[in-house]
Structure 1
Amino acid sequence: MSSHIGWSHPVESGGQWDGFNDSGIETFKGNPIVSLGREITQNSRDSVLDEKLPVRIEFNLFDLDVATIPDIQGLRNNISVCQEFAKNSGARAEQFFNDATKLLSKKKVSVLKISDYNTKGIMGPCEHGTPYFAFMKASGESVKSSDIAGGSFGIGKNAPYAVSELRTLFVSTAFKNSKGEVEQFFQAKSILMSHKHKRKTHRGQGYWGNTKDCMPISDSSEVPEWLRRPIAEDGSVELGTSLYVLGFTKPKNWEERLTSSIVSNFFGAITEGKLEVEING
């Protein structure tokens, strides 16, 4: 893997400090599984590719070898540094980073993979004004692919972090650019807390990908196989998005609660054949 790929938390030069209690995540802490089902499904439906076919979403829980997490040592180091600063940030923060450290010392970690099909993917490039930038980089902002799309306040994208014991999400998306060419973006994001390293303050939000300007990777050969989108029958990559919730919290009866959330919020779309959802199928 190239040396320019890894984890990076941008340097904060304005004297600001990102505390552990992130408002975007806290919004969904009350009922995280219900929120996950609602927000994820809405995002996929807002990006439908062919209106004549149903959007399909698959939720699958699996155990991932910790050693296969890209730049795992970089992630461990980030958690470790935050762990030191969390000692002065309250019991919740301290407990979170203690638990995260223990989790990453194990051989395997639970991952919830959420993949959608018959969607346009999260369209780039990674610059202000695009859906990809809004999803990965912007706060309180949403750029949808249609004027009638729901969830316009850009908050729902934080729902997956509320069910991650590491507050870390890997993203793999394939979309058509303005020239009609298929592009792929691979990136991860952690929402931790500000910390200091080598006398410099670093932001709480960090990214795995191209370390220069925290940009996504576009070459699938530079990412592990588990992170890649499937290949369609015609040999091209399947358009759409896969999210990987690292360290899924596995709440009690999460499958039943997730099913209930999706059915209650999208009953019409399901009965009309516009939405198909599979949970640990």
Structure 2
Amino acid sequence: MTIEWKFPHNGFGQVRGVSDAGIETFTGTEIQSLAREICQNSLDAAVEGSNATIKVDFEQYRIPSSDIPGYEQYASKIQKAYDYWSKKNSEKTIKVLTKALNAIKKPNTVVLRISDFNTTGLSHPYEDSDEGWNALTKLDGGATKTGDKAGAFGIGKNAPFTNSDYRLVFYRTLNEDQETAAQGMSRFISFPEDLSNSMNTMTTGIGYYGNPEGNLPVDSISELEKLYQRTEIGTDVFVYGFNAGHEWNSDVINEVLENFLMSIHKNLLSVTVDNKVIDNSTLASYLSTYNSKIKNAYWYYQVLVRPETKVFKKDFHGMGTLKLSVLVDPSEKLNRKILITRSSGMKLFALGSMSRIISFSGVLEMGGKELNEFFREMETPAHDKWLPSRHSTNVPLAKEYNNELKDWIRGCIQTLGEHSSDDEIEVAGLAGVLQKESDKTNQRGDDSNKESLQDKIGSITIQPRTSKTKPKGLFYGSDGNGKSKNTDTEGTIGSDGDDPTTRNLGGTRHRSKKDSHKGRAEQGGHDTVHKRYGGDINQELKNVRVIKTSRNTYRVSFILPRDICAGHVEIVTVGENGKSNRLAIHSASELMGCTGIKKSSEGVDFSSMKGNEKVQFEITLLDNRDYAMEVNVYEHN
């Protein structure tokens, strides 16, 4: 059989320029994209039902340029392209072709081999199929994998060509049917085979090295066998004219750690780069070594291994399970992002804008074929974000589910932040330096200098400042003891002390004035004393938290000064003008420290609440808008 290069003619059709969209996608991140796309495709080719770890090897060779399969013929194709385009007015094209021509004429070249093992290999290499071999070499824009697969071979198959000075890649496979196949491919530029007859001989710019009849692969190519002989099922990719430079191995390791942390941690993937093995047993060591360049991966790994990490799970509409692992550590400057991964462990993207005040890092694993398939429909071609508008079947539902997932993540994080945000922060050394003058005089028993509230450190004056922070909630108690001069007719309230008092009639009614009242007292009525300082009436609630846990659900928590037998909670929203409006509650449920929680016309009714410990319940509003909320608690007689 004849093995040669063949560039099909375009049949007077489209002429392919040097700025191929698929290749330009990876320009600037060539080696990183190569590592990501190759490992992704290998994970997608895992043997179904097998627990074997996918292994991917990266190895570099330096060889004579004459050992490139079909070297003389391929060099002549580049020369023809240069001869044709050098007469055109395209500076970029001439520059690229000049570089390729100079590179191919060098006496030596570099080859990068990437091989995977414990995979299926590429199926149907000699058939007219849209799967396996043809999906890689001939099908353009038609990624065929579904579910939790990445969609190989879509745009990512262009990544190896960006790493070649002359856009030359060879493929070889041994598949599950024990078929062997090998073929070279060039994704280059259109050129005429005959410069004097350019219109009739113009090529498509894509060429194949193998069986020219049908541009099919062959059983083997001797030059590839000379580099490396395959004896196990899997696939090899050979990048000729490899141009990544001396730091290529470090760049590959960085990318593998950044994008396949979960795959390696779960023992789904092992990668060998220039004889350095990155697997489950060496992962921690490599993360420490490359920490400065992959800080995000380092923190995500801490999420996976530290015992204080909290795990949340959620069944998502019966499609699969969300598993969220979150590490909160106020003592560390974490990245405040959530790593989104496939079931294979491959990184999709990092989700931010969850919280500005909580120091956290997290990992979200999406389990289940249907769940992964639904969200995969929203992925961009680069697999780096979700865009609901890309969903092919149900854009409104995609938007709803995308928002719901993010709200759930945000709620989980805020729940953890609730337990850590009340901690006091002590700055070492400042306690003694910033001691108030009033404290010093009090220690001497001398209060003559109470008005002197300034300290000086050198020339710096430290001035105490009154807090203008508005309380987030108040407690309106109904207890207290007081007397009126005449409980039958009229009199002045507060004769038993100087605190302002209101006269409560029977039930919960009371006079509006606090200093005096008129009228006949009803049986069961009593005075309420409003002690503004140190009393338990009209106090600020402590540790008030209102945390949004989903689109219209909030978790409310606070601490009361004492136990209450009955009352209601009013949830109000405060506008920019400072005015408060009561929010309508759709439903309410108790969580801790309270009983008898239910919605009412005034907000939320309760039958009891405990004092001096956290009270917590959940409310659902009638809409999903965001509000600035305050909480007021009223005790009933």
In the alignment, what sits opposite 1:45? 43
Q: How many aligned positions are there?
A: 267
Per-residue Cα deviation, 1:25-57 (whole angstroms, up to 9, x for no partner): 000002112211111100000001363111000
Secondary structure class of the residue paired with 1:128:
coil
In the alignment, what sits opposite 1:102? 102
Which of the residues 259, 268, 272 maps onto 1:265?
259
How far the C-alpha of 1:85 sits from its partner, in A, is 2.4
How far the C-alpha of 1:252 sits from its partner, in A, is 5.7
Which 5+ residue runs of structure 2 have no aligned equivalent? 276-637
- Report 1:191-230 matches (<5 A): 191-198=187-194, 199=197, 200-218=201-219, 220=220, 224-226=224-226, 229-230=229-230
- Alpha carbons of structure 1 residues 17 and 119: separation in structure 2 relative to 1, 3 Å: same
- Alpha carbons of structure 1 residues 222 and 163: separation in structure 2 relative to 1, 3 Å: closer
Q: Which is helix-richer, 1 or 2? A: 1
Instruction: Please give the alpha-carbon distance, in whole angstroms, between the structure 2 residues aligned to 1:251 and 1:85.
Output: 30
Instruction: Please give the alpha-carbon distance, in whole angstroms, between the structure 1 residues aligned to 2:224 and 2:26.
Output: 30
Question: Does the 8 Å CA contact 2:12/2:202 hold for their aligned counterparts?
Answer: no
- Alpha carbons of structure 1 residues 152 and 47: separation in structure 2 relative to 1, 3 Å: closer
Instruction: Please give the alpha-carbon distance, in whole angstroms, between the structure 1 residues aligned to 2:89 and 2:6.
Output: 22
- Alpha carbons of structure 1 residues 207 and 186: separation in structure 2 relative to 1, 3 Å: same
In the alignment, what sits opposite 1:57? 56
Residue 29 of structure 2 is aligned to residue 31 of structure 1: yes
Question: Does the 8 Å CA contact 2:68/2:240 hold for their aligned counterparts?
Answer: no
How far the C-alpha of 1:192 sits from its partner, in A, is 1.2
Question: Does the 8 Å CA contact 1:171/1:242 hold for their aligned counterparts?
Answer: yes
- Report 1:15-164 matches (<5 A): 15-49=13-47, 51-87=50-86, 88=88, 90-125=90-125, 126-144=127-145, 147-151=147-151, 154-164=154-164
- Alpha carbons of structure 1 residues 221 and 22: separation in structure 2 relative to 1, 3 Å: closer
Q: TM-score, normalised by structure 2?
A: 0.40
Which of the residues 272, 276, 279 maps onto 2:270?
276
Question: Does the 8 Å CA contact 2:174/2:233 hold for their aligned counterparts?
Answer: yes
Instruction: Please give the alpha-carbon distance, in whole angstroms, between the structure 1 residues aligned to 2:136 and 2:79.
Output: 27
Instruction: Please give the alpha-carbon distance, in whole angstroms, between the structure 2 residues aligned to 1:124 and 1:223.
Output: 23
How far the C-alpha of 1:151 sits from its partner, in A, is 3.5
Deviates more, 1:44-53 or 1:266-275: 44-53
- Alpha carbons of structure 1 residues 102 and 201: separation in structure 2 relative to 1, 3 Å: same
Instruction: Please give the alpha-carbon distance, in whole angstroms, between the structure 2 residues aligned to 1:191 and 1:230.
Output: 25
Residue 179 of structure 2 is aligned to residue 190 of structure 1: no
Instruction: Please give the alpha-carbon distance, in whole angstroms, between the structure 2 residues aligned to 1:186 and 1:96.
Output: 28
In the alignment, what sits opposite 2:248? 254
Instruction: Please give the alpha-carbon distance, in whole angstroms, between the structure 2 residues aligned to 1:223 and 1:245.
Output: 13
Specify the code of the residue in structure 2 equivalent to 1:167.
R
Question: Does the 8 Å CA contact 1:82/1:192 hold for their aligned counterparts?
Answer: no
Question: Identity of counterpart residues, as a percentage?
Answer: 30
How far the C-alpha of 1:92 sits from its partner, in A, is 2.4
Secondary structure class of the residue paired with 2:214:
helix
Q: Taking CA–CA contacts closer than 8 Å with sequence separation of 6 or more, which of the two structures ends up with the larger relative contact order?
A: 1
Instruction: Please give the alpha-carbon distance, in whole angstroms, between the structure 2 residues aligned to 1:150 and 1:58.
Output: 20
Question: Does the 8 Å CA contact 1:6/1:209 hold for their aligned counterparts?
Answer: yes
In the alignment, what sits opposite 2:7? 9
Secondary structure class of the residue paired with 2:113:
strand
Which 5+ residue runs of structure 1 have no aligned equivalent? 232-237
